[in-house]
Structure 1
């Protein structure tokens, strides 16, 4: 079976619906939902190697719904989503990851989180120092890899 290069129209509609269910818009924080056109365009443009698993997840959702998810009323969508959480597997996890990674790349979302709109490197971000003693049990373990010869 060949890998799809892009999603079908029905799959794109379902992706939009699922994305809004995963991350709805928030008036309180003044951020769009993951169904926002800019976020959706980013998802579709950057699916790449995840296209196959995302398509499988969307097809699984449509099978559970008995038709495209976009055609269901919100209450039925929620019921299908609950069933999908239990049976989505790796494809479902990939779908959620894609939605979240694209959502949290959006400038409006980054601004709402108080983050600068820049790449993390080369400047990096300052992280608070943690309790390094938490690693002591790991450091105390004997090596479990064989030595290179």
Structure 2
């Protein structure tokens, strides 16, 4: 581990393997998988406050696998991923969030989705009107938060 790479080499290998399982490459849509080197670099550079939980998730994954994840056959890897999903808790959720946030900010992925390659602010993105009745249960709960002064 170093300042620019908060993961051990084994953790990084397992991150690359699980990232490819979460978001595999698609020839049909012409997008890389989440194991793409540029996306992996983005993950390592932006881990920041998530480093501790991501390391915990990767250590839990390693315990479940009993060996490097990439060395498992596909069926065993899927079984480990299922066990990880059900027992990983907040650490697993953080790992998945990190993978997805880095994947969906990659220029190639944004381009494939037809999105402009720009920051969402200050311009913002227009959302189509949806079914506002979905908020009725929240409104029905009443004011459970304190009002601002």
Q: Could you state the TM-score of these two structures normalised by the residue count of structure 2?
A: 0.87
Partner of 1:90: 90
1:35-68 C-alpha deviation (Å, 9 max, x unpaired): 0000000000000011111111111111011122
Change (3 A) 1:82 1:119: same
Question: What SS does structure 2 have at the residue aligned with 1:92?
Answer: helix
Partner of 1:32: 32
Which ranges of structure 1 fall in alignment gaps of 5 or more residues? none
Partner of 1:117: 117
Q: What CA distance in whole angstroms lies between the structure 2 residues aligned with 1:14 and 1:69? A: 6
Partner of 2:19: 19
Give the root-mean-square deviation of aligned CA atoms: 2.1
Change (3 A) 1:72 1:124: same
Deviation at 1:139, TM superposition (A): 4.4
Q: What CA distance in whole angstroms lies between the structure 1 residues aligned with 2:86 and 2:134? A: 34
Deviation at 1:132, TM superposition (A): 4.0
Q: What CA distance in whole angstroms lies between the structure 2 residues aligned with 1:15 and 1:98? A: 10
Deviation at 1:75, TM superposition (A): 2.0
Deviation at 1:140, TM superposition (A): 5.8
Change (3 A) 1:146 1:45: closer
Is 1:10 the counterpart of 2:16? The answer is: no
